[in-house]
Amino acid sequence: MVEFTNGIVRKPSKSMVEGITTGMFSSENPKYEDGLKQHGQYVKILEKLGLEVLVLEPLEEFPDSCFVEDPAVVTDKFAIITNSPKESRNGEKVEIEPTLKNYFDNKDIYYIEYPGTMEGGDVLQVDNHFYVGLSERTNDEGAKQFNEFVSKYGFTSSTVPVTEGLHLKDFVIYLDDNNMLLSSEMNKASEFKDFNRYVVEKDELYAINSLFINGTVMVPEGYPKTLNYIKSLGYPVEVVNTDEFKKIDGSLTCLSLRF
Catalytic residue list: 167, 254
d(CA 50, CA 97): 24
d(CA 160, CA 134): 6
Phi, psi (degrees; rounded to nearest 5) at 207: -75, -10
DSSP-assigned letters across all residues of 176-217: STTEEEE-TTGGG-GGGTTSEEEE--GGGGGGG--EEETTEE
Which helix (H) or strand (E) segment is 35 a member of?
helix 32-48
- Cβ distance 157 to 129 under 8 Å? yes
